Amino acid sequence: MTEHKSNLTGPNVVGPNLIWYENLKRGDVALVGGKNSSLGEMTQALGAKGIRIPPGFATSSGAYREYLEANGFNGMIREKMGNLAAGRETLHKVGASIREAVAGGKWPEKIEADIRAAYRELGKRTGKAEPSVAVRSSATAEDLPDASFAGQQESYLNIVGEAALLEACRRCYASLFTDRAITYRALKGFDSEKVALSIGVQLMVRSDTGGSGVMFSIDTESGFDQVVLITAAWGLGENVVQGAVDPDEFQVYKPFLDRPGVTPIVAKSLGAKDIKMVYASGAAGPTRNVPTSKAERGMFVLSDPEIIELARYARTIEDHYGMPMDMEWARDGDTKTIYIVQARPETVMARVDVHALKSYRIIEAGPKLIEGLSVGEAVAAGEVCLLDSARDIDKFVDGAILVTSTTDPDWVPIMKKASAIITDHGGRTSHAAIVSRELGLPAIVGTGNATHVLHDHQEVTVSCAGGDHGVVYQGIAKFAVDEVRFDTIPATKTKIMLNLANPAAAARWWRLPVDGVGLARMEFVINNGVRVHPLALTRYAELKDDTVKAEIDRRTKGYARREDYFIEMLAMGLSRIAATWYPKPVIVRMSDFKTNEYAELLGGRQFEPKEENPMIGWRGASRYYSDGYKDGFALECRAIRRLREEMGFDNVIVMIPFCRSPEEADRVLAVMAENGLRRGDKGLQVYVMCEIPSNVILAEAFAERFDGFSIGSNDLTQLTLGVDRDSGTLAGLFQERDPAVIWMIETVIARAHAAGAKVGLCGQAPSNDPDFARLLVKAGIDSISVTPDAFLAVKKIVAAVEIE
């Protein structure tokens, strides 16, 4: 048996077969596996920093090897694995025969005595005669930088009594030879004879009456390292890990965790949480799933202070290990205490090439079939293979798109043959999501109805290219793959910024060396996140449509006031953009819907007039001080104030669109000040869009009222040339390079600079025509804001022009 003298001394050690967590450290992987060594490390090193670990002990790898030797299993295992490698026996037959033998073995007398003694000691420490424990497997090769071993071996919950504990330990040993574990080791190149198993025996946290979940100290999709991702569900944590439940999801901005007066929760999403795992008794087994109540489904598992507490735990653990971490947590329903029950290195982003970025773009696609949470950022197309059970592995066609309700570790042999994965259930930290990332596959989880909408042999395209939400399209779509090498990007004096709308997609570009965000479109967040017309909230009593009122009631449930829903959703959506590049400037344009677009929001038709030409109608600044929208604009201002002051993102600059005159500017600025956004207070800068000829003609007057200009080349071209930008008939006349438009741009740059104001351009022209950037640089523009896919081309042109 392997000796490990450094850890086999002290009053809490039962013997060479068992070690208490407080006597273990992270370097003891060979002795007790990755999971148990990590729990020991945290017990030793992080308890004083507030990290709570349930007490427990681990069996040694030596005990496992002695168990196999005492029962004569080594020769049998070697023979069976050889038969599998040679094709003489199937995976299913080999795994079943080894598991049956190992689970039926007899304990060596000393090991059994040690386990019994340690269990009794745990009872003394916790004041319980027969404590309920979690019995978890910890392989000596698990949780390495390139292999998560997520769920490959079994865990058993709510185990009570010495006899039940010994039986659960035998089953843990046997689980080293499940079909999925054998397959996974082969996939990762691990020799089964060189992998041993330690068993962790840990006091159960009463999360069956509380909640539990998974968290990562980075964004699992983009690798953005400044946020903590937390998922949560009611009851025991197995449902979250296995993807059997759609959990709540939260993101927290780490740099602001210790900033006084700031609540840096940048995303909150309510999950369905339709079942929960609880303790069972008698013949039902140790645990069972029961439906959640309507109240539980309609509320978040975690309060804001608990979310912040967990995020601090994640940051502390990450700082201690010096790497991104994957953690499981549990909240005791009786004491409300939150515990960390597992922590291991994050294994996917650790392998990402930090010097390059691949970007996928859908060029042409069929109808949208279903949506869900996206995993990865790729696109895949092919035929659907719909399976109900992992036992149907023989029916799976290599390279097909796997569609199923949910996955667990038994699915790994199938998943590694798929080109993409779609599930009905599960969150971003579910088994399907974790394994898909590790295999480098695009996946869409938590669709709700994929197994009902899709069918075998159907051709579909799985797109994870749009941020948090993935889409399944009918048919084989046309798509492009672009790669940006960061080491080829030159430096420029002219600032190159991004145009962004979708907050969910912002983090994927966090590695780009941009100078900030030149245009963040508020209306996108309202349209895709809030979805309710602000006046339908401020003037709810005036609504005439009962169906609209019922839907608003559903969306705003849990908020003290309906208006708070709008403010929180808008502030959080914008915060994800602001956080990605903090402290670089992020220019947020206040809502710039046209009346026909506002009307499409929930409840909007009642409050919006019908205009013949909304493009040059009641839009932008004219709405903000009008009695017809003033209270709606107040909600926008309160969201910005929350974003800057309560959430801490003081890098946000406000921009006013379609401001026709200096007098109109004065009225807008006065309304903003009434709502707590006074230019200059707390560093607030206010810009104006330059998209109307009057903005150029009266540039000096506008410069007195605003800190900067952002040229909107589309509208400026439309209004300079008198060409409807949406007209197909006049498309040939819409030329941003027209001499009149160029004169407008050059003139406003010169006049604004003379008045001490900055000037940028956030129109589409440089993105569609990077050479247009030459004209801007020669005119002396301060910044150019482009779409992410055009960033590299524009950056290179600007660098070349600056050299010239």
Active site members: 431, 762
Q: Which residues on adjacent β-strands are paired with residue 289?
A: 277
- Report the DSSP pairing between strands 356-364 and 478-485: antiparallel
Q: Provide the phi-psi class of 689: left if phi over 0, else alpha when psi is between -120 and 50, else beta.
A: beta
Q: Which pairs with CB-CB distance under 8 Å and at least 24 residues apart come from 22-28?
A: 24/58, 26/321, 28/4
Residue 489: DSSP 8-state = P
Residue 291 CB: number of other CB atoms within 10 A? 10
SS3 for 371?
Answer: strand
For helices 179-188 and 91-103, angle between their N-to-C axes, nearest 10 degrees: 110
Closest CA to 760 of 521, 519, 596, 569: 519
Q: Rounded distance, CA 187 to CA 703, Å?
A: 63
Enclosing H/E stretch for 330: strand 325-331
568 phi, psi to nearest 5 deg = -70, -45
Q: Is-cis flag, bond preceding 583, omega within 30?
A: yes
Give the span between the Cα atoms of 184 and 182, in whole angstroms.
Answer: 6
* CA 804/CA 492 separation, integer angstroms: 12
Number of C-beta neighbours around residue 520 at 10 A: 28
User: How far is the C-alpha of 309 from the C-alpha of 265, rounded, in Å?
Assistant: 11
Residue with tokens 């150029």: 696
Structure tokens belonging to residue 643: 């974003």
Tell me the backbone φ, ψ of residue 159, rounded to 5 degrees: -90, 125
Residue showing tokens 């040939």: 732
DSSP 196-224: -EEEEEEEPP-TTSSEEEEEESS-TTT--
Q: How many CB atoms lie within 10 A of CB 491?
A: 8
Residue 602 DSSP label: B
Where residue 151 falls (left for φ over 0; alpha for ψ -120 to 50; beta otherwise) is: left
- Give me the amino acid identity at 69: E
Cα(218)–Cα(225) distance, integer angstroms: 5
d(CA 360, CA 481): 5
Q: How far apart are CA 70 and CA 249, in angstroms?
A: 47
